[in-house]
């Protein structure tokens, strides 16, 4: 089976240049650190477009496939524009993501709005901007959505999100498809929801079913199992309610290679399994070949991203760990602290050396748990060295905070030896811009 970009640990353009430094997108990473400062998020455009091409090729035999990038992985205007150019739609989970895509000038009919507790204002924005589909998550939302749509004289086009009872073997916090989940309608609640839509909620139109079974998935059987359940439900609903549904959204979650021990499936393998399964269930349940929506996020953006840090202090614990601190950490990448996520790093400016040591890369934040990478073997590090951490395109910027009142990093796009800022570095004035001191305290 052909290898796909999500199976790579590093960006596809990575190389060591004549100066002995790491280079991405034709740009020397040490120069990037000097020009833009660190910490610095770097997105390699070619790697990003390569994975988009992988997905399109993997599903080209089933033309009724729509790719919906899961924006929660990384949502910026520039990234959205690139994905739009590559023919992707967008799975969004907040007003902020919806508005970012809208401001990027993207056709909003290519957007789906997902989430378990959408607010009145968010649903109103989705309808006002003409979002193509809303994935209805619960009974409260159905009632609220119908009320808003009715007040505007509109029809809300929806999918019904269900929990299919499939449990993928990943971290507990990123499992979303098992029965005891905060997301979606339980299988026993589907008929009640459809009754309401058909008989009471006249401003809602149901087009199909939606499920998402987890994240960082390596198990290839998961997606065919999910399609089996959803196709069976569509056939049952059509027979019971005489309601024809022709859309199935199977979510995303395909894994990526964070460390050498990670062996995610290729997009081509997953594509073949899904297409074959669709053909099987169409015949088995005598249903119309459905439009299939996929929502890849991490597997689209993760490999294209690296984060550059500058090395600062170090501490050798007597007869113990050597800690080397960098100028970022848990505020720009909270995943190691939250999920015990593992990463691989290299020294951007010291590729050729035989002197190595085992160290733990510590962050700069006032938390003992602010550790980026434990026990990694690297060339001997000195203050001022540039560290390149791989596979940080997904969820690092999205989950970044201002903990310790530290500014969020800049993000740049590299391609064809050019670099461009796509997210400005926050300033100290940005940090205080929303602070208000009451007049009584100004005396």
pLDDT tens profile 181-238? 677 899 899 999 999 999 999 999 999 999 988 788 888 888 998 999 999 999 999 9
Among candidate residues 27, 52, 168, 366, the one labeled active-site is 366
To the query of whether residue 27 is one of the catalytic residues in this protein, the response is no
pLDDT digits (tens, 9 = 90+) for 30-67: 999 999 999 999 999 999 999 999 999 999 999 999 99
Per mean pLDDT, which range of 106-120, 139-153, 168-182, 312-326 is the poorest? Answer: 168-182
With a threshold of 0.85, does the pTM exceed it? yes
In this prediction, residues 82-103 reach a mean pLDDT of 98
* Structure token pair of residue 82: 């690139």
Residues 303, 266 contacting (CB under 8 angstroms): no
Residues 306, 222 contacting (CB under 8 angstroms): no
202 dihedral zone (left: phi>0; alpha: psi -120 to 50; beta): alpha
Q: Among positive and negative, which fits the CA dihedral 214, 216, 218, 220? A: positive
pLDDT digits (tens, 9 = 90+) for 301-345: 999 999 999 999 999 999 899 999 999 999 999 999 998 999 999
According to the per-residue pLDDT averaged within each range, which of 86-90, 184-188, 212-216, 377-381 is highest?
A: 86-90
CA dist 424 and 277 (Å) reads 45
Q: Which residue has the tokens 């570095």?
A: 425
* Structure token pair of residue 234: 């569509």
In this prediction, residues 140-167 reach a mean pLDDT of 93
pLDDT of amino acid 166: 62
- Per-position DSSP letters for 254-296, written without gaps between them: B---SSTT--PPPHHHHHHHHHHHHHHHHHHHT-PPPEEEE--
- In the predicted structure, residue 171 carries a pLDDT above the cut 50: no
pLDDT of amino acid 174: 34
CA dist 336 and 170 (Å) reads 15
pLDDT digits (tens, 9 = 90+) for 385-397: 999 999 999 999 9
Q: Which domains are seen in the chain, by residue range?
A: 5-42+304-432 (2.40.37.10), 45-301 (3.20.20.10)
CA dist 35 and 23 (Å) reads 14
Report the 10 Å Cβ neighbour count for 175: 20
In this prediction, residues 369-385 reach a mean pLDDT of 96
Q: What is the Cβ-side half-sphere exposure of residue 395, based on CA atoms within 13 angstroms?
A: 18
pLDDT digits (tens, 9 = 90+) for 3-17: 999 999 999 999 999
Residue count of the chain:
443
């Amino acid at each position: 089976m052909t290898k796909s970009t999500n199976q790579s640990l590093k960006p596809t353009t990575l190389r060591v240049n004549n100066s002995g430094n790491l280079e991405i997108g034709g740009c020397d990473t040490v120069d990037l650190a000097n020009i833009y400062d660190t910490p610095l998020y770097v997105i390699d455009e070619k790697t990003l477009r390569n994975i988009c091409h992988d997905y399109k090729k993997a599903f080209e035999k089933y033309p009724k496939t729509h790719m919906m990038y899961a924006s929660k992985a990384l949502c910026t205007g520039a990234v959205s524009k690139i994905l739009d150019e590559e023919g992707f739609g967008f799975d969004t989970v907040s007003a902020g993501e919806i508005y970012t895509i809208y401001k990027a000038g993207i056709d909003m009919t290519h957007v789906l709005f997902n989430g378990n507790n959408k607010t009145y204002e968010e649903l109103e924005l989705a309808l006002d901007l003409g979002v193509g589909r809303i994935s209805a998550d619960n009974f409260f939302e159905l009632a609220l959505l119908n009320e808003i749509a009715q007040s505007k004289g509109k029809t809300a086009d929806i999918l019904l999100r269900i929990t299919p009872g499939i449990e993928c073997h990943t971290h507990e916090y990123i499992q979303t498809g098992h029965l005891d989940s905060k997301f979606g309608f339980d299988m026993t609640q589907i008929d009640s929801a459809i009754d309401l839509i058909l008989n009471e909620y006249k401003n809602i139109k149901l087009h199909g079913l939606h499920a998402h079974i987890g994240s960082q998935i390596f198990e290839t059987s998961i997606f065919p199992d999910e399609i089996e359940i959803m196709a069976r439900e569509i056939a049952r609903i059509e027979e019971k309610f005489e309601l024809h549904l022709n859309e199935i959204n199977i979510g995303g979650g395909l894994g990526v290679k964070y460390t050498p021990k990670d062996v995610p499936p290729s997009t081509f393998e997953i594509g073949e399994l899904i297409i074959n399964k669709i053909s099987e269930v169409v015949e088995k349940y005598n249903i119309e070949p459905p439009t299939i929506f996929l929502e890849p996020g991490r597997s689209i953006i993760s490999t294209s991203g690296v984060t550059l840090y500058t090395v600062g202090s170090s501490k050798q614990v007597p007869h113990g760990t050597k800690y080397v601190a960098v100028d970022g950490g848990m505020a720009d990448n909270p995943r190691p602290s939250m999920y015990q996520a593992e990463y691989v790093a290299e020294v951007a400016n010291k590729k050729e050396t035989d002197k190595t040591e085992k160290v733990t890369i510590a962050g700069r934040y006032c938390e003992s748990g602010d550790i980026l990478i434990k026990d990694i073997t690297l060339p001997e590090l000195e203050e001022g060295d540039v560290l390149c951490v791989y596979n940080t395109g997904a969820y690092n910027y999205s989950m970044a905070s201002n903990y310790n009142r530290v500014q969020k990093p800049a993000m740049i796009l590299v391609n064809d030896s050019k670099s461009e800022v796509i997210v400005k570095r926050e300033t100290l004035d940005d940090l205080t811009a929303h602070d208000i001191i009451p007049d009584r305290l100004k005396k």
